[in-house]
Protein backbone atom coordinates (compact mmCIF):
# COMPACT_ATOMS: atom_id res chain seq x y z
CA UNK A 1 0.00 0.00 0.00
CA UNK A 2 1.34 3.42 -0.97
CA UNK A 3 2.09 5.90 1.78
CA UNK A 4 -0.23 8.93 1.81
CA UNK A 5 1.56 12.00 0.56
CA UNK A 6 1.36 15.07 2.75
CA UNK A 7 1.44 18.66 1.61
CA UNK A 8 2.06 21.77 3.66
CA UNK A 9 -0.80 24.17 4.23
CA UNK A 10 1.35 26.83 5.91
CA UNK A 11 5.06 27.51 6.36
CA UNK A 12 6.36 30.36 8.51
CA UNK A 13 9.94 31.18 9.36
CA UNK A 14 10.46 32.93 12.69
CA UNK A 15 14.00 34.26 12.25
CA UNK A 16 14.16 35.89 15.67
CA UNK A 17 13.54 32.57 17.46
CA UNK A 18 15.15 30.51 14.64
CA UNK A 19 12.10 28.26 14.22
CA UNK A 20 10.37 26.99 11.10
CA UNK A 21 6.69 26.45 11.75
CA UNK A 22 4.95 24.11 9.32
CA UNK A 23 1.40 22.76 9.09
CA UNK A 24 0.29 19.89 6.88
CA UNK A 25 -2.97 18.86 5.25
CA UNK A 26 -3.25 15.87 7.59
CA UNK A 27 -3.76 18.31 10.48
CA UNK A 28 -0.25 17.99 11.90
CA UNK A 29 1.68 21.07 12.98
CA UNK A 30 5.37 21.24 13.87
CA UNK A 31 7.85 23.81 15.13
CA UNK A 32 11.33 22.80 14.02
CA UNK A 33 14.41 24.72 15.09
CA UNK A 34 16.87 25.85 12.46
CA UNK A 35 19.56 23.91 14.31
CA UNK A 36 17.50 20.71 14.07
CA UNK A 37 16.82 21.25 10.37
CA UNK A 38 20.48 22.07 9.66
CA UNK A 39 21.85 19.08 11.57
CA UNK A 40 19.35 16.77 9.86
CA UNK A 41 19.81 18.12 6.35
CA UNK A 42 19.09 15.54 3.65
CA UNK A 43 22.22 16.67 1.78
CA UNK A 44 25.14 14.39 1.00
CA UNK A 45 27.32 16.78 3.03
CA UNK A 46 25.43 15.71 6.16
CA UNK A 47 24.08 12.25 5.33
CA UNK A 48 27.01 11.00 3.27
CA UNK A 49 26.55 8.78 0.25
CA UNK A 50 25.53 5.67 2.12
CA UNK A 51 24.93 4.11 5.54
CA UNK A 52 27.67 4.85 8.04
CA UNK A 53 28.93 7.89 6.10
CA UNK A 54 26.95 10.48 8.05
CA UNK A 55 28.89 13.58 9.11
CA UNK A 56 28.13 14.82 12.62
CA UNK A 57 27.32 18.53 12.49
CA UNK A 58 28.95 20.55 15.27
CA UNK A 59 28.42 24.13 16.41
CA UNK A 60 25.07 24.73 14.71
CA UNK A 61 23.27 26.08 17.79
CA UNK A 62 22.94 29.62 16.39
CA UNK A 63 22.37 28.79 12.72
CA UNK A 64 19.45 30.51 11.01
CA UNK A 65 17.60 30.09 7.74
CA UNK A 66 18.10 33.00 5.35
CA UNK A 67 15.94 31.81 2.44
CA UNK A 68 13.32 29.19 1.66
CA UNK A 69 13.25 28.30 -2.02
CA UNK A 70 10.45 26.19 -3.52
CA UNK A 71 11.58 23.12 -5.46
CA UNK A 72 8.77 22.16 -7.79
CA UNK A 73 5.62 21.26 -5.91
CA UNK A 74 7.26 18.63 -3.71
CA UNK A 75 9.97 20.29 -1.61
CA UNK A 76 11.91 23.33 -0.47
CA UNK A 77 15.59 24.13 -0.40
CA UNK A 78 16.58 25.75 2.88
CA UNK A 79 19.47 28.22 2.77
CA UNK A 80 21.30 28.63 6.07
CA UNK A 81 23.47 31.53 7.21
CA UNK A 82 26.48 29.21 7.58
CA UNK A 83 26.48 28.81 3.78
CA UNK A 84 24.75 25.41 3.66
CA UNK A 85 22.09 25.27 0.94
CA UNK A 86 22.35 21.89 -0.78
CA UNK A 87 19.67 19.96 1.11
CA UNK A 88 16.29 19.51 -0.57
CA UNK A 89 13.63 18.95 2.05
CA UNK A 90 10.68 17.09 0.56
CA UNK A 91 7.28 17.51 2.21
CA UNK A 92 7.48 13.88 3.35
CA UNK A 93 10.93 14.42 4.86
CA UNK A 94 9.83 17.57 6.74
CA UNK A 95 6.76 15.71 7.99
CA UNK A 96 8.97 12.81 9.13
CA UNK A 97 11.30 15.26 10.92
CA UNK A 98 8.28 16.64 12.74
CA UNK A 99 6.70 13.31 13.65
CA UNK A 100 10.00 11.86 14.88
CA UNK A 101 11.53 15.05 16.28
CA UNK A 102 12.13 13.77 19.82
CA UNK A 103 13.65 10.48 18.65
CA UNK A 104 15.93 12.10 16.05
CA UNK A 105 16.96 14.95 18.35
CA UNK A 106 17.82 12.62 21.24
CA UNK A 107 19.90 10.44 18.90
CA UNK A 108 21.73 13.55 17.67
CA UNK A 109 22.46 14.72 21.24
CA UNK A 110 23.73 11.24 22.10
CA UNK A 111 26.06 11.30 19.07
CA UNK A 112 27.37 14.71 20.15
CA UNK A 113 28.06 13.41 23.65
CA UNK A 114 29.81 10.32 22.29
CA UNK A 115 32.00 12.61 20.19
CA UNK A 116 32.85 14.64 23.32
CA UNK A 117 31.11 17.77 22.05
CA UNK A 118 29.16 19.98 24.41
CA UNK A 119 26.52 22.24 22.93
CA UNK A 120 26.93 25.85 24.00
CA UNK A 121 23.18 26.20 24.29
CA UNK A 122 20.62 23.78 25.62
CA UNK A 123 17.69 25.31 23.76
CA UNK A 124 14.77 23.13 22.80
CA UNK A 125 14.85 21.48 19.44
Task: Please write the tens of the pLDDT for every residue from 46-85.
Answer: 888 877 788 999 999 999 999 999 999 999 999 999 999 9
Q: Which residues contact 24 (CB under 8 A, 6 or more apart)?
A: 6, 7, 8, 9, 91, 95
What's the predicted TM-score (pTM) here? 0.91
- The bridge status of strand 29-33 relative to strand 75-80 is unpaired
Interval 36-42 mean pLDDT = 96
The number of residues making up the chain comes to: 125
2 DSSP assignment: P
SS3 (DSSP) at 113: helix
Computed over every residue of the chain, the mean pLDDT equals: 91
- Distance from the Cα of residue 113 to its chain's centroid: 20
Domains and CATH numbers, the chain: 8-114 (3.30.2020.30)
27: left (phi over 0), alpha (psi -120 to 50) or beta: left
pLDDT score of 3 more than 70:
no
Amino acid sequence: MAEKRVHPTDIKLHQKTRVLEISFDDGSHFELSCEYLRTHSPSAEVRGHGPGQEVLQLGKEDVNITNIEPVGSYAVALHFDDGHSTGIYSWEYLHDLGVNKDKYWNAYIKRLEQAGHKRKSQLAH
